[in-house]
Amino acid sequence: MGGDAPEEGYERGLGSRQVQMIAIGGAIGVGLFLNAGANIAKAGPSLILMYAIAGVIIFFIMRALGELLLYRPVSGSFAEYSREFLGPFFGYFTAWTYWLMWVVTGMAELTAAAIYIHYWFESIPQWVSALVFLVVLFVANLISVKLFGEIEFWASMIKVTALIGMIVVGLGVLTFGFSAAGDTASVTNLWAFDGFFPKGIGSSLMTLQGVMFAYLAVELVGVTAGESENPEKTLPKAINTLPWRIALFYVGALTVILCVVKWTEFAEGVSPFVKAFAMIGIPAGAGIVNFVVLTAALSSCNSGMYSTGRMLRNLGANGEAPRAFTKLSATKTPALGITISVAFMGIGVVLNYVVPEKAFAYVTSVATAAGIWTWLMILISHVLYRRAVEAGRLPASSFPAPGGAVGSWIAIAFLLFVTGLIAYDADSRVCLYVMAGWSAALAAGWFVLKARNPEVTSRRGPEFEKVG
């Protein structure tokens, strides 16, 4: 077993440059561009440290996933590994929960995109913008995986180029003192206003749940495994570039922004990057940045449509969803799965109509809880895989995680700590109630599935055979 990527009917239409940019773009989304404003208001400059700590944990998660991917690269990877190492129920639960994560993330991105449109057109209702974006991205995803890859490539290119440009401009303001913000821009802004932890360490730790939402989608590179031209080369390269991406785009960009503009200027619902460029006073600068963050939101929603369709096909192939989801269109896309997912994303349009001011907060908290479950399944599967390799039951991966399972254990403890923070916070606790209801619904579905087709619920996946 191990090593060979099975042919699943998909077109292997994602080249190296596209997989690299999907990986880069996955680490730059609305969680940084919009949600960071609220988190800066809660934690001040210490938010930089929270992003750095969480970034280390994300690297542990991705190296664990990387080792599994090079053991057996398949589309819908984490659900398959959960099925193999923890049993069929966990594969079923993880696939459906990852589908939920991307559906609600898509709602969050649509909401963010509608908020950004307000920057230019205040009279357009949020729900109208959200609906238009939903339809356009839906059509693009039905055409082909190559079009998806191209959209993600150029959207990620825009995000990366813009972020680097923002960092360069910010460093220029700090070094040469030009622009309207030049007189007050200083590294001392990181501690001059009530210290590095202005609201206390406890308040800083409470932002970790929002910080983890910002990192959702880095694992998307695992979903592309079944459609990558050369997963053995492209996936390790994409994962190994993660540390510098986090250091530059999250820690670096936030550090520069908070040096240029004091943290007390930022508030919820406003992108810190748009705010900073507005204060710097560069002509059209804030408008350009707003276009960039709009691109980031639409890029992430596009990724959501891609991954949800693949997850539903994976469920259908395993008999855990209607078999109709397994059918591919003439362009080799799981059209029915994408269509059903987009229909559920439409709930986000309704939320933008009913509670536009609360829509973003509601959906991000649910997405974070679902994302934490997915990451936990990756880590636990990795721990069990390492045990099987050490016992000689499975072949070793060509991309082993440094330190073996130690990093996975550290990441598991951290994610459980963040879950505790979510339970402690009255505002975000509602997502745990949603997840409890979701779990009950999936458990009920599992028992129905077991009664109708017992073979489906028996352990499947590669046989554990003695190797070496």
Q: What pLDDT digit, counting tens, does each position of 424-459 carry?
A: 988 788 889 989 999 999 999 999 888 887 877 675
Find the mean pLDDT for residues 17-44: 73
Question: Shortest CA distance to 335 belongs to which of 145, 149, 150?
Answer: 145
* pLDDT for the residue numbered 315: 83
- Check if the beta carbon of residue 340 is closer than 8 Å to that of residue 310: no
Residues 6+ apart with CB under 8 A from 210: 31, 35, 38, 39, 364, 368
* pLDDT for the residue numbered 146: 72
Distance (Å, whole) CA 59 – CA 403: 13
Distance (Å, whole) CA 235 – CA 414: 25
Count of residues for the chain? 468
User: Looking at per-residue confidence, does 218 or 62 come out higher?
Assistant: 62
Find the mean pLDDT for residues 377-395: 94
**Measured on CA atoms in the order 229, 235, 236, 239, is the torsion positive or negative?**
positive
pLDDT grade for 4, boundaries at 50, 70 and 90: very low
The total of other beta-carbon atoms located within 10 Å of residue 118's CB is: 16
* pLDDT for the residue numbered 46: 94
- For 97, 104, 266, the CA distances from 442, given in Å and listed in that order, are 9, 17, 40
For residue 6, is it within any domain?
no
Share of the chain above pLDDT 70, in %: 85
pLDDT grade for 416, boundaries at 50, 70 and 90: very high
* pLDDT for the residue numbered 16: 61
For residue 4, is it within any domain?
no
Q: Which of 38-42, 249-253, 286-290, 375-379 has the lowest mean pLDDT?
A: 286-290
For residue 279, is it within any domain?
yes
Strand partners, 228: 14
* pLDDT for the residue numbered 435: 92
What is the CATH classification number for the domain harbouring 67?
A: 1.20.1740.10
pLDDT at 402 over 80: yes
pLDDT grade for 460, boundaries at 50, 70 and 90: low
For residue 453, is it within any domain?
no
Distance (Å, whole) CA 167 – CA 232: 33
Crossing angle (nearest 10°) for helices 285-317 and 16-26: 110
The total of other beta-carbon atoms located within 10 Å of residue 388's CB is: 16
For residue 381, is it within any domain?
yes
Domain count for the chain, please give it. 1
Half-sphere exposure of 91 (CA within 13 A, CB side): 25
User: pLDDT for 217-242, tens place per residue?
Assistant: 777 766 665 556 666 777 787 788 77
Distance (Å, whole) CA 302 – CA 290: 18
The total of other beta-carbon atoms located within 10 Å of residue 322's CB is: 13
What type of residue sits at position 263? W
* pLDDT for the residue numbered 75: 61
Find the mean pLDDT for residues 456-463: 59
For residue 455, is it within any domain?
no
For residue 458, is it within any domain?
no
Find the mean pLDDT for residues 156-175: 85
pLDDT at 463 over 50: no
Distance (Å, whole) CA 305 – CA 138: 7
* Maximum average pLDDT range among 31-40, 50-59, 233-242, 265-274: 50-59
pLDDT grade for 202, boundaries at 50, 70 and 90: very high
* pLDDT for the residue numbered 414: 97
User: pLDDT for 65-112, tens place per residue?
Assistant: 989 988 887 665 678 899 889 998 998 899 899 888 888 888 878 888
Residues 6+ apart with CB under 8 A from 358: 351
Strand partners, 14: 228
Structural domain containing residue 308? 16-446
Structure tokens at 130: 């959200």
For residue 462, is it within any domain?
no
* pLDDT for the residue numbered 239: 81
Structure tokens at 444: 């009920």
* Maximum average pLDDT range among 161-165, 269-273, 382-386: 382-386
pLDDT at 388 over 90: yes
Structure tokens at 202: 């406890």
Distance (Å, whole) CA 181 – CA 228: 45
pLDDT grade for 7, boundaries at 50, 70 and 90: very low
pLDDT grade for 407, boundaries at 50, 70 and 90: very high
The total of other beta-carbon atoms located within 10 Å of residue 454's CB is: 9
Distance (Å, whole) CA 369 – CA 307: 18
